[in-house]
A = this chain, B = another copy of it.
């Protein structure tokens, strides 16, 4: 299950990053900070988003198609910037592309939250499918057998992020409902954002948590793991964007997740 070491020969192309849609741009943003010289090729499978409410078999089949397109484009490594696809497709992708370093977001997120939690009481918000898979619960308990995991699906946060409705009373009331019962002394001391859409709501989450939870963003922690594994990656600091639907919508929403504008989005068919 461990990743092959990146050989210089393999490191010629861009780093491929994919998600069901735009949420994975939070991972790309963190990756560009960690690997400022590298080239990236991002693919959002916007025609079929979201993955988070779909079955394991469907998500796996979509992820294989998405990854195959990036491999055809010559990527030197692959980052699954989607929690749901990391859960259901990481092993299948590593089997299909054994030479390629492939990174998911679950293990780095679990590592980071286990590190910051003092009490071992750990909260996880993610999509329906990610929570139902128990992947984070298992990954956390594998690192800290005495941990108590509080896990809750938070699908409405995805819709809020996609609607760029990230601040104000309504997002805060949704966040407050999802953190219900978690902010008292019997609740978790740390919170893992287990969906790449959620960092778009970080301000509302911080405001509601009001210092009572250490917030771990799996986008940030994954980027650090990728940077550590790949070492110095040379490139021309370029980023390309592919989507399976709605290039206009992609451009419009990209700043919410990426923090900068994306002007050219190439449409691809899977």
Interface of A with B (CB < 8 Å)? Answer: 46-49, 53-55, 58, 128, 153, 155-156, 158-160, 162-163, 165, 169-170, 173-174, 177, 245-246, 249
Tell me the smallest distance from the CB of A256 to a CB of chain B, in Å: 14
- State A53–B49 Cα separation when bound (angstroms): 9
Structural contact, B173 and A54, CB atoms closer than 8 A: no
Tell me the smallest distance from the CB of A76 to a CB of chain B, in Å: 31
- State A58–B128 Cα separation when bound (angstroms): 25
A21 nearest CB neighbor, chain B only? B53
Structural contact, A53 and B246, CB atoms closer than 8 A: yes
Tell me the smallest distance from the CB of A240 to a CB of chain B, in Å: 20
Known: A58-B245, A156-B163. 9 other contacts (CB 8 A): A46-B53, A47-B48, A47-B58, A55-B245, A55-B246, A128-B249, A156-B170, A159-B159, A169-B173
A169 nearest CB neighbor, chain B only? B173
